[in-house]
Structure 1
Amino acid sequence: MVNGKVIAFIGLGHMGGPMAASLVRAGHRVLGYDVVTRSLDAAAAAGVTPAASAAACAAEADVVVTMLPSGRHVLALYREEGLLDAARPGTLFIDCSTIDVADARLAHEAATAAGHRALDAPVSGGVVGAEAATLTFMAGGSPDEFTAAEPLLAAMGRKSVHCGGPGAGQAAKICNNMILGISMIAVSEAFVLGESLGLTHQALYDVASTASGQCWALTVNCPVPGPVPTSPANRDYRPGFAAPLMAKDLGLAANAVRSAGVRAELGLRAAELYQAFASGDGADQDFSGIVESIRERSANGPARREREGAGS
């Protein structure tokens, strides 16, 4: 492992804060900035050196890592708020945000036009993965930039995959999460159907988890209480991966689907369902909580009347 780099980390929220702390533990000097004071304070407690601004971080850094809510925030920071101008020539910019593929390519162009190197490297694994440093990074950019970034990604995660040129990391992320969103809806619908047919949750799980229905949404993030004790369903759907984040990712996937002219009917429908769920009861729930929405919208209820008995 290459230690001793100076890293600017901008965006120290639920994901960025633990990721920056992992870099500190790996022996790097990490300068941090976030517009939310409590996030900056929490990062400081983990060994991150607070800075007065994003540009102040970048001015001293060998590498700049960003973890921001949207492409709009990334592009504004790069273009309008002086981040690229503040950095030394040749600085490596790693954007770990999940943003639109087109925005990722624009950010890459802006960084390289300013004399820097760039990599888009969104993550999978959620807050739990950020805290445990077990994230998966999907990287887009040149092989040289990926090689330069790899030791840092290894400090924050368990696996890094070079997916191709600029924007390819974002493409891989939204394709992966389209699979995940669709599969969670399918698993949830199957459990609600099972309830209406008199199946217990455990019986359906025992069959599907060892048969052709097996998938991550079932065996790791099971949407009903009981079969997988560590799933959010057993803690009132407190988020591991929040429904609004799934809605955001599926919205990005839907944008890409329409732009590319792909006939992805399930992906588009999943985006609609998650947008509705995240805008209502799912606003503060894990994305697996969509099972409750499916149950409530299902016809009169054996599913609703038998819910407690089916979960036993």
Structure 2
Amino acid sequence: MNEQANTTIAFVGLGNMGSPMASNLLKAGFAVRVYDRVPALIEALRQEGAVGCSSLRDTVESANIVVTMLPAGEHVKAVILGTESDEGVLELISDDTFLIDCSTIDPDTARAVASVASEKGIEFVDAPVSGGVAGATAGTLTFIVGGTDSGFSKATAILSHMGKNVFHAGKAGDGQMAKICNNLLLGSVMAATCEALNLGVDNDLNPEVLSNIMLQSSGRNWVLELYNPCPGVLEHAPASHQYTPGFMCKLMSKDLGLGLDAAKLSNLQCPWER
């Protein structure tokens, strides 16, 4: 049997990003155990070959690697560190289990989780992602890892089956900081691109023609290339599918808030702050 088949991965959090990421691990040949608070999401992965679990304990106890993909820092703390009423991952696994958190959260929470894990002799890395739902489905995500050199090496062996780029940003929490910087820029570019295209459309320009002009000019950017906000310009963009959600606006709002919070902590004047 190959190495993947001998490696059991517990995947916790099966939302718009987590489900296709777990699916790609299955396609790579790993034994995958999945858990989410929404039973239908577990069932969908079970039909692809995953072991569907009804509790966090059942999901992680026999795993070599635990991957979490959760909405916010509070959820990461609750799942990994536990709460007053519920045990967390760190209380349920052996000390040779490796933890990868792919959520986008504040750096301080990532550092706090890494510190507690280290005290227990468990390796943890934060590895937030960029690339959206399309990238998660295609297995072309970019992972931004914060942790030790050994942790980065271990993480790369797993993350490379879900993405095409894996970067080592630095120590624990640095993956989150790099992701925050990226999304602060992305949110700004998205807003500016929408405004520019809307100005053109309001003045009777064809949005596809205008987009092609800007793609060959100094306004070229990722949104124009892959996520055009005008229906019919890009076949696979949400705008061409009745704006079917992938990366939700509330999550971008959360990420932008993390960026503003980081700027305040660094005593930086942030032009986005009112």
TM-score (norm 2): 0.92
RMSD: 1.7
Q: Residue 15 of structure 1 corresponds to which residue in structure 2?
A: 17
Equivalent residue runs for 1:167-246 within 5 Å: 167-246=173-252
Amino acid across the alignment from 1:71:
G
**Which SS does the other structure have where 1:102 is aligned?**
helix
Q: Residue 120 of structure 1 corresponds to which residue in structure 2?
A: 126
Which residue of 52, 63, 66 corresponds with 1:64?
A: 66
* Pair 1:208–1:144, CA change in 2 (3 A): same
Equivalent residue runs for 1:21-170 within 5 Å: 21-80=23-82, 81-170=87-176
More helix by share: 1
Q: Residue 263 of structure 2 corresponds to which residue in structure 1?
A: 257
**Which SS does the other structure have where 2:144 is aligned?**
strand
Q: Residue 281 of structure 1 corresponds to which residue in structure 2?
A: none
Identity %: 42
Q: Which runs of 5+ in 1 are unaligned?
A: 270-312
**Which SS does the other structure have where 1:64 is aligned?**
strand
Matches of 2:191 and 2:56 in 1, distance apart? 39
Q: Write the deviation string for residues 5-60 of structure 1: whole angstroms up to 9, x where unpaired.
A: 11111112222122112112212111121121111111111111122321222221
**Which SS does the other structure have where 1:159 is aligned?**
strand
**Which SS does the other structure have where 1:151 is aligned?**
helix
Matches of 2:24 and 2:122 in 1, distance apart? 24
Q: Write the deviation string for residues 123-144 of structure 1: whole angstroms up to 9, x where unpaired.
A: 1122222222111111000111
**Which SS does the other structure have where 1:214 is aligned?**
coil
Matches of 1:226 and 1:11 in 2, distance apart? 32
Matches of 2:197 and 2:49 in 1, distance apart? 45
Assess if the C-alpha contact under 8 Å between 2:233 and 2:240 holds in 1. no
Matches of 1:170 and 1:236 in 2, distance apart? 31
Matches of 1:31 and 1:229 in 2, distance apart? 34
**Which SS does the other structure have where 2:160 is aligned?**
helix
Bigger drift between 218-227 and 148-157 goes to 218-227
Matches of 1:164 and 1:103 in 2, distance apart? 16
* Pair 1:230–1:113, CA change in 2 (3 A): same
Amino acid across the alignment from 1:16:
G
* Pair 1:254–1:229, CA change in 2 (3 A): same
**Which SS does the other structure have where 2:161 is aligned?**
helix
Question: What is the Cα deviation at residue 264 of structure 1?
Answer: 2.1
Larger radius of gyration: 1
**Which SS does the other structure have where 1:97 is aligned?**
coil
Matches of 1:215 and 1:103 in 2, distance apart? 31
Question: What is the Cα deviation at residue 198 of structure 1?
Answer: 4.0
* Pair 1:198–1:26, CA change in 2 (3 A): closer
**Which SS does the other structure have where 1:265 is aligned?**
coil
Assess if the C-alpha contact under 8 Å between 2:99 and 2:124 holds in 1. yes
Q: Which runs of 5+ in 2 are unaligned?
A: none
Question: What is the Cα deviation at residue 79 of structure 1?
Answer: 2.0
Assess if the C-alpha contact under 8 Å between 1:78 and 1:111 holds in 2. no
